Structure 1
Amino acid sequence: MLLISDTVEVGGAKGPAHKPIYPASPVELWNPEAFTKGPPMGAFEEMRKASPIAWMSEPEDRPGFWAVTRHEDVMRVNADYETFSSQRGGILMSHQRSEMQLARASLDAMINMDAPMHMQLRREHMPYFTPAYLRGLTDRVEGEVTRLLDAMAKQGRVDLVQAMSAHLPLFTLCEILGVPVEDRPKFLTWMHFLELANSFAAERSGGGGGLESAAAEVPPEMKAFLDAFTNAIQEMFDYGRHMLHKRRLDPQADLMSAIAKAQVDGDLLADEYLDGSWLLIVFAGNDTTRNTISGSMKLLSDFPEEKAKLIARPELMPGAVNEFIRMISPVIYMRRTATRDVEVSGQQIAEGEKVIMYYGSANRDAAVFADPDRLDVTRANADKHIAFGYGPHTCIGKRVAQLQLEAVYRQMLGRFPDIQQSGPMDVAPNNFVYAIRSMPVEFTPET
């Protein structure tokens, strides 16, 4: 089984093979600094109207890409995996060849695979994301939310990221994986360094140079951070390999065992693919839910009348959570690479060119969602959002994210009905995920 990290295409010809028929983008989408206040929704609105398939030039020797912003076109690219490949170029804006473990593991993972390998691995994971399994998980998630709210209750003012958003997704992930309780604090440390490194990589490489490769050229004062980072990431991979090999010998009823026993074409995964599976589940299983929990607080603070509806009618929460996810769209983009010449919305795209789908833009498309920039907790078609992707690569953990958000906001609004954002949130310069680093909130403390 060939490794994606050995076969993925990098680079490419500079500029588009076919003349762009639409105007250029009004914002540099390759530049993470354009995302420090969240995704540039105003620019995306302009692009949907005037430049739905816009050519985006990139700096230095990077080739550029086609930015896809309309809901219909994003769905088309997502669904047609034969024409728009995840595996040929990976799912990040750009990759560099590297022998570093983290850079390779970011490629050797299910999210970068096309059919049939993707579907074979996906089937192995599915038992831990079914409604029957999640029913048993829900009570444990509800209990952890209660515990975290208890710790907040007497304070009246907290950073929601540190008090809730950073903890609940890791708890839930560890429950699904079957991580021993005594090992769980390690995950907080690993995520701390992965978050810092992800933002650092985005700043230095436009979100696609790989976490370690982007951190390779740094000033001397960063050496202490890099040493700590290297040690933490090595520990993460060593732990993952150890536990996955342990599960092969002694399987349990958990997702870790499913990953360990997964096969492609009858063969167990090589260690490199175990690394990729481990990195994907640790990072992706945490990051999107973390940022959606935080971003939902901003929405409810910006639209207090919708918050009042939820407090008065808690039964609206499932639909409201879909609306939160639609408006936040925590994964900003996914990349595909064209496997043949193709036309999208009148624009000719050449074989080998990068195609970047912007989920947040698609989810604000007025052709699908009326008054799309307004939070509406009763929106009838909120579940038509594509924040979790569409087609074969639809996020396998989307229901896990939904049940966590439902538990957080049902309980939190029930206990702290006046909770609201109390200061500016801090967003990392990251054009791949909506990376909220802090979200100050205040509320009347419980006595």
Structure 2
Amino acid sequence: MRAIDAIKLDDPSFLLPSPHAEMAALRREAPVAYDARTDAWVVSSYESVSFALRHPEIFVSGRGVSVQERKLGTDGPVHGGDFMLATDAPRHTELRAAAQPGYVQPRIRAWEDRLRARIVAAIDALPAGEVLDAHTRIAKTLAIASVCDYLGIPEHDVPWVDELTSVWSPEHTQWSGVSVTDYPEGTLERYFAVLLEERAAAPADDVLTIIAGGRGASLSLRAKLMLCIDLVVAGNEPLAAGISGGLHALAEHPDAFARLQREPELIPTAVNELLRRVTPIPYMCRTTASDVELEGQLIPAGSFVYLLYSSANHDEDVWGKPYELDVARSDAGKLLSFGRGAHTCIGAPLVRLVYRILLEQLTSRFAALEMGGDVRIVTGVHMPHLGFLPLVLVPASPAHRDTP
């Protein structure tokens, strides 16, 4: 059987867990391959995925970046066409510029102490020595709380926002001829319209204020609302999935956790390595705007293309022993989990900061992470991820807790 015949990306269960053997075979046999069953091209090598990401003028996003959006059957922009993830230049450049001032390093550094206090409080509330669902109690809780706090969403609204973003999709948003005031109470669109109106009247030190005014002032209300939803959806789920997958890996590799305890300076490197290994978003889709040749294969204009981030992140031509967890891997920073080029994840610095502080706290306060049962994987609306992670935070001895 050909390697491409084993790849079934239109079936969510195929990615649960990551089919490394099938993807490795595809990289060896046909790193750029046409799949007649789905009428799509599949790009699996690090070199070719990187090329596609660096050339958004060829591999465009405006016709959909997921299988769900492809099923909408639109020839132009997907529903909710101001969704930053699914736009191309110059519109993508304009939308990104409206939010970018909120994600500069000085602003993120100024938020670090507040974030650390939140993470410390969350860990203080966890039962050491008992089995807990680390996906819900740690990953999901910290991800949505951190993203919402940074944006400026009131803390009492976080559970409600989390519930709605977990099922939100561009295909659910029908903008044509409809004013936001026509939406019933209780939608994300209406909620963010109210918050943006409040920030315009009374600015605060948060991202919502930047979107409401500043570079975002010239955007339509529709564009501002989509930008707010984009930043929550694209920040929350991948961060939660990345943390859950990383904690699972550290529990299964106690030597790696112990090394981070001995060498905490490796934690920033470990964050990249864990995100490379987990690859929270396993693939993104594009459509070719023109004919393009990759690895000897001609992909015609108008072709739907899967860019396999997970496969690229495990390419043997880039990383030695890519399936091993190496928290000291010096080139882990080459990961493609955040994309590359114009569509690089705008919140990547936030993700790394949340992850780093969490690992600092866990490795300094607990002796080990141990599995407390079997994990459960769910497909979700946007990506497959661990939906249940039974974990035990092994209490540290007094001597360990007293160690600087």
TM over 0.5: yes
Separation in 2 of the partners of 1:397 and 1:175? 13
Which of 289, 300, 306 is 2:239 aligned to?
289
Q: What residue in structure 2 maps to residue 42 of structure 1?
A: 21
337-346 or 23-32: bigger deviation = 23-32
**1:381-392 alignment runs, 5 A limit:** 381-392=331-342
Q: Structure 1-normalised TM-score? A: 0.80
Unaligned 5+ residue runs, structure 2? 175-182, 398-404
Separation in 2 of the partners of 1:109 and 1:386? 21
Separation in 2 of the partners of 1:298 and 1:322? 15
How many angstroms does 1:446 deviate by?
Answer: 7.6
CA 1:308–1:115 in structure 2 vs 1: closer, same or farther (change >3 Å)?
same
Matched, 1:140 2:92: no
Q: Is the 1:327–1:373 contact (alpha carbons within 8 Å) kept by the matching residues of 2? A: yes
CA 1:299–1:28 in structure 2 vs 1: closer, same or farther (change >3 Å)?
same
Alignment RMSD, CA only? 2.6
Unaligned 5+ residue runs, structure 1? 1-21, 199-208, 214-229
Separation in 2 of the partners of 1:185 and 1:408? 21
Matched, 1:238 2:190: yes
Cα displacement string for residues 197-242 of structure 1 (whole angstroms, at most 9, x for unaligned residues)? 77xxxxxxxxxx94689xxxxxxxxxxxxxxxx989x432211111
Separation in 2 of the partners of 1:78 and 1:431? 24
Amino acid at match of 1:163: R
Separation in 2 of the partners of 1:231 and 1:299? 43
Matched, 1:305 2:277: no
Which of 41, 46, 58 is 1:66 aligned to?
41
How many angstroms does 1:420 deviate by?
Answer: 1.9
Q: What residue in structure 2 maps to residue 206 of structure 1?
A: none
Cα displacement string for residues 88-139 of structure 1 (whole angstroms, at most 9, x for unaligned residues)? x12112424499xxx833x431111111221222222222222211111111
Amino acid at match of 1:160: A
Q: What residue in structure 2 maps to residue 341 of structure 1?
A: 291
How many angstroms does 1:432 deviate by?
Answer: 5.2
Q: Is the 1:36–1:430 contact (alpha carbons within 8 Å) kept by the matching residues of 2? A: no
Residue aligned with 2:82, SS = coil
Matched, 1:27 2:7: yes
CA 1:53–1:98 in structure 2 vs 1: closer, same or farther (change >3 Å)?
closer
How many angstroms does 1:176 deviate by?
Answer: 1.6
Q: What residue in structure 1 maps to residue 363 of structure 2?
A: 413
Cα displacement string for residues 272-306 of structure 1 (whole angstroms, at most 9, x for unaligned residues)? 32332122112111111101111011211222222
Q: Structure 2-normalised TM-score? A: 0.88
Matched, 1:53 2:32: yes
Residue aligned with 2:10, SS = coil
Cα displacement string for residues 185-208 of structure 1 (whole angstroms, at most 9, x for unaligned residues)? 3223324x42xx77xxxxxxxxxx
How many percent identity over aligned positions? 27
Q: Is the 2:52–2:59 contact (alpha carbons within 8 Å) kept by the matching residues of 1? A: yes
Q: What residue in structure 1 maps to residue 154 of structure 2?
A: 180
Which of 218, 221, 238 is 1:268 aligned to?
218
Q: What residue in structure 2 maps to residue 422 of structure 1?
A: 372
How many angstroms does 1:376 deviate by?
Answer: 0.4
CA 1:97–1:431 in structure 2 vs 1: closer, same or farther (change >3 Å)?
closer
Amino acid at match of 2:6: P
Amino acid at match of 1:258: I
Separation in 2 of the partners of 1:262 and 1:354? 36
CA 1:367–1:431 in structure 2 vs 1: closer, same or farther (change >3 Å)?
farther
Amino acid at match of 2:265: E
**1:28-427 alignment runs, 5 A limit:** 28-37=8-17, 39-58=18-37, 64-87=39-62, 89-95=63-69, 96-97=71-72, 104-105=79-80, 107-154=81-128, 156-191=130-165, 193-194=166-167, 210=171, 234-261=186-213, 268-427=218-377
Q: Is the 1:32–1:430 contact (alpha carbons within 8 Å) kept by the matching residues of 2? A: no
Amino acid at match of 1:42: A
Separation in 2 of the partners of 1:112 and 1:212? 14
Residue aligned with 1:443, SS = strand
Residue aligned with 2:367, SS = coil
